[in-house]
A and B are shown apart, each in its own frame.
Chain A
Amino acid sequence: MVKLNKNQNFGLYFKYALRDLTRSYNKISSIIITLFISLFILSSIMTIEDSLENELNENAKLLLGGDIEIDYNNKEGDQTKIDKITKFATVSQMVEFSTMISTVNKKINKTSFTRVKSVDQFYPLYGKALYEPNDALEKLNQIESSILVNENIFKNLNLKINDIVKVQDKEFKVIGIVKVLPDIGGAFVFGDFALTGKKTLDKLDLNTLGSFLNYEYKVKFNKSVNSKEGIKRVESLFKDQNRVRLRYPENSAGGIRRIVDNFSQFLSLVSISAMLIAGIGIANTLLSFINQKNSSIAVQKAIGVFSGNIKTIYYLQLAILLVLITVFSYGLSFFLIPIVDKYISDGLGLNIEASFSIINLIIVFLVGMLVMIIFSIPTVNSIDQVKASNLFRNVFQSLQFNYSVKSVIISIVLLLILISLFAFRSSMPYYSVAYFVSFFICLLIFYYLSVTIIHLLKKYKNSKISVKIAVKNITQSKSITPITIMSLGLGMTLLLTLAFVGSNFKREISKSIPEIAPDYFFLGIQNDQREKFEKIIFNSDNKSKLEVVPMVSAGLVKINGIDPNSYIKNTNDSYWVIMNDRRISWSDEIPKDNPLTQGKWWDLSSPDKLQISLDSKVAQDFGVKIGDIFTLNIYGREIDGEVVNFRLVDYRDLSINFAMLLNPQFANKIPHEYLSTVKFNNIEKFDDINFLDEFPSVSIVKISDYLKKVTDVLNKVFIAVIIISTVTVIIGLVVISSAIIVQGKIKTFQNLVFKILGFSKKEIIYSSLIEFIITFFSIILFSTIFSIISSKFIIENIFQLKWLFEFDIFLNVTITVGLVTMILIVFTNLKYLSPKVYPLVRNE
């Protein structure tokens, strides 16, 4: 007889696998559902992230606003150098500044702290701005004192086209609304913005620190100039200019990229959590599936099929399922793109398109395969337990998970591969690994919790029959208690952690911070205006709390004679201190909320020496010691100063805080202006319109407006985060539901006996509820403990805010999940409540 070759053999197994699968796929429907949900989430995250990345890359120049950008900070550009560049490129000057816009001649006049871009006739070099009416941008440089405002300002100030507004104390005509600007790469536009023409600069007083003036020159190379060559030529012009920053298209939209990166990183971890929870269900359902095939497997073995070949057939079934589910879930993820595009284009002016990536498809498949194999190895290995001789005794042992040393090692290796796959693709690999470690620690603890509960309940004696049955159900050998506790416990822990983090964060932002934060910041108060300013504030409200501090702008150019940019990377937590010029101040006394951590306050015997007090976190991040020398550039002059102490600076209360303070004996000689915060006793008494009439060049920042914006964004983000994290709970519930169905035969038999003995449906339901309560309360206890620990860590150590136990959040989450779980369990158990006696007895 001719034997089959290896390929034909494989083809035969494939045929058996396909046949088996098509005839019994409904028995493993829970595997299909949970795997699909998890892979769909992962696919969606990767598809959206890819599409966004493609959009950002393809439009990098558009986002930057040029082939290269020259940032002069608050100084006007060197015209000689700019003229040299215009020989081989078009240069568009953009000057950004912050100022107050206020309405005039309205019934109730309003103000808005606005970021204004003053643009020339070349703007935008790349892309298109969206505005109304059609010719508004062209008119900007033609009509003097004209302004385009964004939709928010237009709405909040109740404006109409051709209305007159005041920018500082100068009148401007509103000639249109700007909706979208192409070059959002510079910063993530959070506040309100407006556009004016180049000539605006001459009209306004922008020489105050409160203006946050910034000169940028966007460069677009002529067609004859190769991009690389052009960049080299620009770089050579500025090679010795430390105070000038060059930005490239690949650096554009850094803020957006970081946000997208962090968000998708987080969502990927949620999806893998969902997948791992699903894996618990996969193992259980698969075991039940194989148990149902017990006699079939015995028959196969009786006619000579090897155990290994039988296992191959089952693995092939899983592989076929996986391929189909991967392709389907990846394909379905493309349907989310138009929905996401709508939100992104409304918010950011970006447009994303779905783009197929074979690498993403492979990664999704790989992740699914790893999870599937890890959780199916001990299950499929149980096939070894089936003996052909069982057929003769008509006794089939219930199969159990089969853990051999080899299978455990393989599972661990595959798990490490899975973790590495996530960690290496992540921008924060350590956080990813830490997350996985925490996940598995939680999983182990929940497993041992279930073992402990079973052990304790075995010793528990109670006379009430329903309690006895509930306890018996929990402690019996095929109990679903371990699966319930593990899957729901993990889901609850994740959900509670995020709920606590979100609620604490929101509380701090919307309640605690506003309670202690000032109502207003006033920037750019000149020396000669200080007295008048204080008088006006106290006249408005004599119970107000006013704080006024001097302020100058300074750049940290050297630390101990070395340029800090040469060794401090932009990933350093305190890089912001050396990124641009910083506002610094001075004080006679140690600020109340900035206790000294090291060193001594000012040495009053050296008034001519510059002494510096530094934020202790900055000192730690930069490796600065007491006695180190900082070189500060103040108004173009470089001055050396000694670091004499470190302070613990708490920025969260939004009061006046500076990373660097100088000794007043030295600093008082520096020309300066003032920054002030005011907390009114009655905020209604303050009239910002009248105030601006007196101080047109002072910028007013109303803290509540910004906190409201932050809270609005946070609300949306956390709702999205909670909804997505709820997926892990849903997966957990599907796992529990499938576990109950797996128990179906046992439950049916047991309920049949109960029915014969005279139990009522009510008593059976009651015992199910007691079983649920015992299990659920154990889950709640431990998941609450875990979530308290993790959320406290996140809030206090990462966000450096105050953490409080939010009882209402805890109650809402636990009651909701508890009710849903209870309904699901009762609903799933309903069909086993009324077993049809006759068919069961006849089919014995």
Chain B
Amino acid sequence: MTKLLKLTDVNLNYNTDNNLINVLQDVSFEVDYKETISVVGESGSGKTSLIMLIGGLEKASSGKIEFKDFEISSLKEDEISQIRRKDIGIVFQSFYLIPNYTAIENVSLALEINKIKDPINKAKEILDKFGLGKRLNNLPSQLSGGEQQRVAIARSIVMKPELILADEPTGNLDSENSELISNILFDYVKEENASLIMVTHDNKLANLSKRIIKIKDGKIE
């Protein structure tokens, strides 16, 4: 497949109390290898849902999602998990670190699940690179917001995935940390020739991407 990612007429609906909510409607677009895309839109427009679908964390109501040679939309959950382990890294606004695992344990988890040898040293390496060399054995509750997000990013890229999905990665951070995080993400994409799809409200951040996709009321404008 020449494209890294391809969405064709993807719909996502939710049923709540006999009401049908159309979150995404007939969404179609493609992502090249090594491409960076910012997804922008108002709150509730469907941006986060789009990330969830691409990452295989939600199932589309209809339509096709193809990632590399896989049609994610038709795979079983465990098969999608296999893809997510190695090829897709996800970064959230709220970091989603495991509260009872230290920084190094949170990162090494991603390596251990893939049965990579020497996970601790590899985790240490990447955390050192992100300036967290002295915070390896701290729990998330003992780290600042910026530090937590760096750990979360380290976890999401330690397996060198080809696609990074970031949902408001700087949403909970101050400007200094926001810049730091965006640098980390874009540096990774450049160094590893990966692709990035980032949801953001930050115009400055959005403009760093090669392409901007606007979503309104679940549709791509």
Contacts and interface: CB of A to CB of B under 8 A. Distances in A.
Nearest to A756: B90
Interface string B90-110: 101110111111000100011
A465 B92 CA distance: 24
A757 B100 contact: no
B75 to A, nearest CB: 12
A779 interface: no
Interface string A466-480: 001000100011100
- Say whether chain A's binding surface is mostly helix, strand, loop, or mixed: helix
B52 interface: yes
B85 A837 contact: no
Nearest to A844: B94
B221 interface: no
Contact of A758 (B48, B49, B85, B100): B85
17 contacts: A465-B112, A472-B101, A477-B100, A753-B98, A755-B57, A755-B81, A756-B55, A757-B84, A757-B109, A757-B113, A758-B84, A760-B77, A760-B81, A763-B113, A838-B57, A838-B58, A841-B167
A25 B90 CA distance: 39
A302 to B, nearest CB: 24
A758 B113 contact: yes
Contact of B96 (A752, A838, A842): A752
Contacts of B124: none
Given A760-B78, A760-B81, A841-B52, A472 B100 contact: yes
B112 A753 contact: no
B182 interface: no
Interface string A745-779: 01001101101111111110000000000000000
Contacts of A842: 48
A476 B100 contact: yes
A472 B97 CA distance: 15
A761 B78 contact: yes
A756 B98 contact: no
B112 A762 contact: no
Interface string A825-839: 000000000100110
A837 B57 contact: yes
B100 A756 contact: no
A138 to B, nearest CB: 80
A312 to B, nearest CB: 32
Given A750-B98, A837-B52, A841-B48, 8 more contacts: A465-B113, A472-B100, A756-B84, A757-B113, A758-B81, A758-B85, A760-B78, A842-B48
Contacts of A762: 78
B167 to A, nearest CB: 7
B155 interface: yes
Contacts of A757: 84-85, 109-110, 113, 155
B110 A838 contact: no
Nearest to B58: A838
Interface in A776-798: none
Contacts of A837: 52, 57-58
Interface size class on chain B is 20 to 34
Nearest to A836: B58
Given A841-B48, A841-B167, A756 B96 contact: yes
A10 B81 CA distance: 56
Interface string B9-40: 00000000000000000000000000000000
B121 interface: no
Contacts of B92: 841
B82 interface: yes
Interface in A728-760: 746, 749-750, 752-753, 755-760
A119 to B, nearest CB: 79
Contacts of A834: 77
A752 B109 CA distance: 14
Nearest to B87: A758
Interface string B65-84: 00000000000011001111
B84 A844 contact: no
Nearest to A834: B77
B113 A756 contact: no
A765 to B, nearest CB: 12
A330 B1 CA distance: 72
A750 B109 CA distance: 12
A757 B94 CA distance: 15
A841 B57 CA distance: 11
A834 B81 CA distance: 12
A420 B165 CA distance: 65
For the complex of A and B, the 9 pairs showing the least CB-CB separation, nearest first, are A758-B85, A476-B100, A758-B84, A837-B57, A760-B78, A465-B112, A758-B81, A844-B94, A760-B81
B113 A759 contact: yes
Nearest to B90: A756
B21 to A, nearest CB: 11
A463 B115 CA distance: 9
Nearest to B141: A395
A838 B93 contact: no
A761 B77 contact: yes
B41 to A, nearest CB: 15
Contacts of A465: 109, 112-113, 115
A528 B83 CA distance: 100
Contacts of A838: 48-49, 52, 57-58
A759 B81 contact: yes
B23 to A, nearest CB: 8
A832 to B, nearest CB: 14
B72 to A, nearest CB: 13
Nearest to B93: A844
A762 B76 CA distance: 13
Nearest to A835: B57
A759 B85 CA distance: 8
Contacts of B109: 465, 757
Contacts of B101: 472
A682 B115 CA distance: 70
Contacts of B167: 841
Contacts of A756: 55, 57, 84, 90, 96
B82 A758 contact: yes
B163 to A, nearest CB: 13
Contacts of B112: 463, 465, 468
Nearest to B49: A838
Contacts of B57: 755-756, 837-838
Interface in A804-844: 834, 837-838, 841-842, 844
Question: Which residue, A750, A753, A842, has most C-beta atoms of chain B within 10 A?
Answer: A753
Contacts of B90: 756
Interface string B111-125: 011010000000000
Interface in B144-202: 155, 167
A477 B115 CA distance: 27
Nearest to B117: A463
A753 B96 contact: yes
Contacts of B77: 760-761, 834
A756 B100 CA distance: 17
Contacts of B86: 758
A838 B15 CA distance: 13
Contacts of B81: 755, 758-760
Contacts of A750: 98
Nearest to A837: B57
A476 B115 CA distance: 23
A199 to B, nearest CB: 89
Interface string B37-64: 0000000000011001001011000000
A65 B100 CA distance: 74
Nearest to B79: A760
Contacts of A476: 100
A760 B78 CA distance: 5
User: Which of A477, A478, A756, A760 has the largest count of B CB atoms less than 10 A from its CB?
Assistant: A756
Contacts of A763: 113
Interface string A426-444: 0000000000000000000
B204 to A, nearest CB: 24
Nearest to A478: B100
Nearest to B110: A757
